[in-house]
């Protein structure tokens, strides 16, 4: 699949916003700590990915009812669903000058029912012309997402025969459908009932 920049300006994928608040002191401190233990863009990107994947539980796995949507809040509460965890990883990547995008899949249950939008991240390291998708959702039995630039190791490869879709667009900001549901849900059960089914 050919990934498509929604915004042709690469600098848009370094910008900060209310959700991707990489200017926030906690995001900066976390990024600086991770960079100090790595020292180059590739190692840093992998460390940031593993940090978000492994140290911030997906709230559906942990049972945490809180809903976070700002990157800084995700890092502070150590909690979030796929959209929120993607915001955190994008913020950490952009904090060290690595272009990062939000991207999405439409995924369902094993019988094809319950299709909802799933969020993940694309990044473009210095010296590379291609974007690479990674999924910081968090691993569990049956889910084994890895940091891999050349061969995708996502949490959920799509199954087109069940109506699942890989959306090729790379967004420089959270899609309004995903951001709205995060901001308007009082808790995770409400969020779960209102997950978007399309972009």
pLDDT tens figures, 25-47: 999 999 999 999 998 999 999 99
The DSSP bridge partners found for residue 169 are 4
pLDDT at 52 over 90: yes
Report the pLDDT averaged over residues 80-106.
98
Q: Extract the tokens encoding 198.
A: 């399309």
pTM of the model: 0.97
Q: Which residues contact 113 (CB under 8 A, 6 or more apart)?
A: none
- Note the pLDDT tens digit of each residue in 118-171: 999 999 999 898 999 999 999 999 899 999 998 999 999 999 999 999 999 999
Q: C-alpha angle 50/6/9, rounded to 5°?
A: 90
CA pair distance 123, 163, nearest whole angstrom? 26
The DSSP bridge pattern shows strands 165-166 and 100-107 to be antiparallel
Return the closest-CA partner of residue 165 out of 116, 100, 110, 101.
116
Q: Is the pLDDT of residue 70 over 90?
A: yes
């Amino acid at each position: 699949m050919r990934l498509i920049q929604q915004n042709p300006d690469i600098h848009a994928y370094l910008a900060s916003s209310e959700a991707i608040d990489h200017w926030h002191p906690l995001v900066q401190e976390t990024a600086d700590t991770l960079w100090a233990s790595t020292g180059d863009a590739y190692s840093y990107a992998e460390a940031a990915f593993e940090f978000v994947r492994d140290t911030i539980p997906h709230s559906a796995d942990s049972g945490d009812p809180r809903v976070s949507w700002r990157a800084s809040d995700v890092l502070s509460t150590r909690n979030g669903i796929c959209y929120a965890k993607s915001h955190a990883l994008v913020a950490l990547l952009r904090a060290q000058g690595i272009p990062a995008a939000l991207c999405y899949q439409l995924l369902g249950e094993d019988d094809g029912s319950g299709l909802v939008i799933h969020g993940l991240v694309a990044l473009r390291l210095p010296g590379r012309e291609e974007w690479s998708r990674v999924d910081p959702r968090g691993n569990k039995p049956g889910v084994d997402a890895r940091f891999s630039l050349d061969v995708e190791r996502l949490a959920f490869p799509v199954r087109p025969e069940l109506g699942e879709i890989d959306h090729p667009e790379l967004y420089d900001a959270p899609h309004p459908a995903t951001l709205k549901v995060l901001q308007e849900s009082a808790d995770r059960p409400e969020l779960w009932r209102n997950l978007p089914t399309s972009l």
